[in-house]
Amino acid sequence: MNIMTMTIIYTTLIMGTLTTLISSHWLLMWVGLELSMMSIIPILMNKTNPRSTEAATKYFLTQATASMILLMSVITTMMYSGQWSIIYSNNMFISLALTLSLIMKLGLAPFHFWVTEVTQGTSLTSGMILLTWQKIAPLSILMQISPTINQPLIISSALLSTLLGGWGGLNQTQLRKILAYSSIAHMGWMLVVMNFMPSISLFNLMLYIILTISVFTALNMSNNLTTLSLSHVWSTAPPTIIIILMNLLSLGGLPPLAGFAPKWIIIQELVKNNNIMIPVLMTMMALLSLYFYIRLTYSTTLTLFPTTNNTKTKWHFHNKKAMTILAPLTTLSTMTLPLTPLLFTLN
């Protein structure tokens, strides 16, 4: 794919998301989602092989179904209210249809099966875009309609996503699938607090994007796709493996890393709103995700293959430009927990 084509595709992808973010007109928001969907399909198929074609097809079919439900609910809203702008409606059917369509687009349980398959079938760069940039537009719509979304459905989907996101990653050896299940679990944490304080969901999304970009950049730099190949990196690039594992543990929410901050704030907000059982269940389910991250850390650093000391000097010749980008991302994603009290004062 030449540079001109890639420029047009990525520009369309960015413009689609921005159109959804700045619009208050339902039809324009739907058009923005469609632009994002159609522009990412060539990105998913950048490496032409049967796996990428299958992944792009699964993504298209799922997103097209969600778009159809969303458009149906938008038209129903227009017929009910007589206008295309976002209004707070108490109509149960409209609320249910909107919530279901956005849950499908985000890949939340029980509509989560496509996330792991599509991420596994694409390259690391395409998977990074799928798990970060493509989450922004649907979540922005959910934040705008948060006062009227179906709360029991959202909380049930969030709890199920956190459970399946941790449970599904336990027996995985493919790093892209592990990150896909991590995305499902993190989306559950974002949605469970959406009804109470959308700004906390926004903070969780920002930190999740920084963490995921850091992990994918480090994996792409070292060209690792499986846990077996990751276990070999310690012998050749100790700094790289330390960065990857710190970001993975931060994704799991292990204190004192920065990934613990959104979970801490979400639990406090839920308890403040007299929801005791939900944070208890979410915390127990989050331990599943943390378990396979710690297990990955153990298998990578404490079970080393016999190597000579000379191989440990290879990390000096790695891509210095990628390391320059990775350094500030790692700092933001692992060492910003002391700034958390500032967020409490802002809320």
Per-residue model confidence as pLDDT tens for the chain (347 residues): 788 999 999 999 999 999 999 988 899 999 999 999 999 999 999 877 899 999 999 999 999 999 999 999 989 888 887 778 876 667 788 888 889 999 999 999 899 999 999 999 999 999 999 999 999 999 999 988 888 787 888 999 999 999 999 999 888 889 999 999 999 999 999 999 988 888 899 999 999 999 999 999 988 888 888 888 887 777 777 778 888 889 999 999 988 899 999 999 999 889 988 888 898 999 888 898 898 888 888 877 766 555 554 554 555 545 555 567 888 888 888 888 887 777 666 55
Burial (0-12, 13-18, 19+ Cβ within 10 Å), 14? middle
Element (H, E) at 295: helix 277-301
Amino acid letter, 179? L
Kindly state the tokens that stand for 81: 């209210």
CA distances from 7 to 3, 78, 100, 131, 160 (A): 6, 36, 33, 20, 38
Domain boundaries of the chain, sorted by first residue = 3-346
